Chains A and B, each alone.
Chain A
Amino acid sequence: MAGAAATPPGVSEAVFADALNRFAGVVGAENVYSEEEDVALYRDAYSPLWDEREEKLASAAVAPASAEEVQAVARIANELRIPLYPVSTGRNLGYGGSAPVLSGSVVLDLKRMNRILDISERDATVLVEPGVSYFDLYRHIVDNGLKLWIDCPDPGWGSVIGNAMDRGGGVTTGAYRDHFGSHCGMEVVLADGDIIRTGMGAMPGANTWQQNRYGYGPWVDGIFSQSNYGIVTKMGFWLMPAPDAYLSGTIAAHRHQDVIPLIDVMNRLENIGAFTGYPQVGSPVLFQAGAGAAPEELEAQARASGQPVWTCRLQFYGGRKVNEAQWEYCQEQFAAAIPGATFQRGEEYDLPLTPEQAEALGTEKVSFGIPNLGRFSIGARSEFNDMPTSGHVWFSPILPRTGEGLLAAQKVLFEAAEQLKPYNLSVLPMPFANWQRTFIFLINFPIYRDKDANRQTREAFRKLVKICAENGLGEYRTAPAFMNDVGDTYSFNDHALRRFHERLKDAVDPNGILSAGRYGVWPRHLRT
């Protein structure tokens, strides 16, 4: 199968050729990609539709180097009705990569816009362009000896802006783990080529663009995330001042029902700032007993193996004495709420880490603001896996941050796995606390260069979306192949939210040229 679409839907070859010529006039011919071998590089390497008729393919790509060039490209595309699909670094693998949602779109590749425009240790802020990756920002901080940390997702090659716009999460402190929530100020090019700055950026001469995110009047930043209303060309973020010391500690709870006070206390302690890092709830015996084991089985397994039923690992960033006091206080609180709880002091570091300490951390480097790609060992060849995958897509529903909510959601997933047995789902859902008020599950669906296997994966994924939604568990983010499916589940009042999204779409992008179909929002002429 070809790796590129011929032309955008509804656009003649002559108009398309004219558009590409005019794009080349803006960005230079060397930054317009229309040869099939170049355009094929924009395929989503993790696509569950790989090589099938429905695979989402670009028709061309154009790579501007500045916001002004983005404006000029948008004006041309708007005039000629050429669908554009902006990507930042194009590494959103598992959630879509660099391929468009609408086949035939021209990918607007912002990777060349890779400047760190302003960074302040004093204010702990940064202003970046979309092509800046977590690795780029990390390197800049290290090279300049700045006492700043970044909060990165597991894979560090992604765009700081792109991840925030897709509402990704990280693993340091609550204020920074929510990547969209830690942004401050945007510059956005609209479909007609106009350009806006949000928050204090709207006031010429204000030097508080990265300090106050709201400015004056309706705050619009949110509508540009997981959407298709504009092209973000600059974005500010709050960074974490580098702490002086790190400590971790783990609470072990030995009865199944302890999960309820365990999570309640964890939530309270995080929300009053008694611990400052990413909390991790686990169950060593659940992994051993397998999906769906009864509480009594888990407790018996725990007694037999000398392990707890539940664990909660806390992390502390700050000064050594403060961390000590916080850990002591946390232990008191858990001990009072959970009879028989035991405590294990964990890793302890004076910061900054030495290179040897950092090296020994492996993928845990992210807890210290150090980006890496260790997580891409998922599905890779290993001594336990002689059938490496060609990628994965994530099924990632939001669930309550309570013990009852966790147990109920696990039951839904266990029963779904049973119901979907023919698909051979491997489901052992444990909660991730990247966002401060909810958990998510992260369930990996492997992708292969095998159409039958991928077809099965898509069917199972779609069934799981429905089953979870029937139980109030909604995906927080998804790959293009499933964006409509997930959008359908957010259906309150006859899909009133989607209808509102569509009204916004029609108002800000009446010709529907930007990222058609992204997150289930389609322009008028493509709605079914």
Chain B
Amino acid sequence: MSMTKIAFAGALGCAVLAGSALAQQALPIPPLQHAVPSDGLNAAQMRGQDVFRTTCEHCHGPGRGMPGTSSLAVKYQDTAPAIPALIEERTDLTPELVEFFVRNGSGAMAPYRKTEVSDDQLADLAAYLSRPRP
């Protein structure tokens, strides 16, 4: 009986591995890269990170072709103490500031309507970007 169980688990394990390899192979396009892992975030911050990833990261993420990040890099290039161009790495953001920019935009960044980012989602996003850091 126990042998059967082991054999079954092994077979399932192989199937899972094979499935995973297949999924990797089938993936037509790679996932986006993220700047900040989700470890250690509370529930609201996790939800806020998800809002960031679906809504903000396309401009404010890491890597090439990120107008928000590259624009802020120039804006803050001479600031002392240094302010990171990646807004996820900033420690000076307040919830109010996050909410202001989302609802008012800045330069070529248009504001976000409530059907795009609801007030609840905005509160989560603000909680994520203003979270205390160790």
The interface of chain A, by Cβ under 8 A from chain B, is 31, 33, 37-38, 41-42, 45-46, 61, 63, 89-91, 93, 97-98, 109, 111-112, 131, 135, 138-139, 141-142, 145-149, 156-157, 242, 351-355, 357-363, 365, 368-383, 388-392
Contacts and interface: CB of A to CB of B under 8 A. Distances in A.
A90 B115 CA distance: 10
A264 B14 CA distance: 55
B111 A359 contact: no
Given A142-B27, A380-B70, A135 B58 contact: yes
B113 A379 contact: no
B59 interface: yes
A136 to B, nearest CB: 8
Q: Tell me whether chain B's interface is mostly helix, strand or loop, or mixed.
A: loop
Contacts of B66: 373-374
B100 to A, nearest CB: 12
Nearest to B26: A145
26 contacts: A46-B110, A90-B116, A93-B110, A98-B113, A111-B116, A135-B54, A135-B58, A138-B29, A145-B22, A149-B29, A156-B58, A352-B27, A352-B30, A358-B30, A359-B33, A361-B65, A363-B64, A373-B58, A373-B66, A373-B67, A374-B65, A374-B67, A375-B67, A377-B67, A381-B75, A392-B108
Given A138-B29, A368-B29, A41 B64 contact: no
A157 B22 CA distance: 30
A390 B108 CA distance: 5
Contacts of A389: 107-108
Q: Which 6 A-B pairs have the closest CB atoms?
A: A374-B65, A45-B110, A362-B64, A242-B28, A362-B65, A355-B30
Contacts of A371: 58
B105 interface: yes
A376 B23 contact: no
Contact of A388 (B30, B59, B108, B110): B108
Contacts of A372: 58, 65
Nearest to A143: B31
Given A42-B113, A355-B31, A359-B33, A157 B74 contact: no
Contacts of A149: 28-29
Q: How large is the interface on B (under 10, 10 to 19, 20 to 34, 35 or more residues)?
A: 20 to 34
Contact of B29 (A93, A352, A391): A352
B110 A381 contact: no
B105 to A, nearest CB: 6
Nearest to A93: B110
Contacts of A142: 27-31
Given A97-B110, A362-B64, A157 B29 contact: no
Interface in B54-92: 54, 58-59, 63-67, 70-71, 74-75
Contacts of B59: 373, 376
Contacts of B30: 142, 352-355, 357-358
B107 to A, nearest CB: 4
Contacts of A370: 29
A19 to B, nearest CB: 19
A373 B109 CA distance: 11
B65 A363 contact: yes
Contacts of B26: 145-147
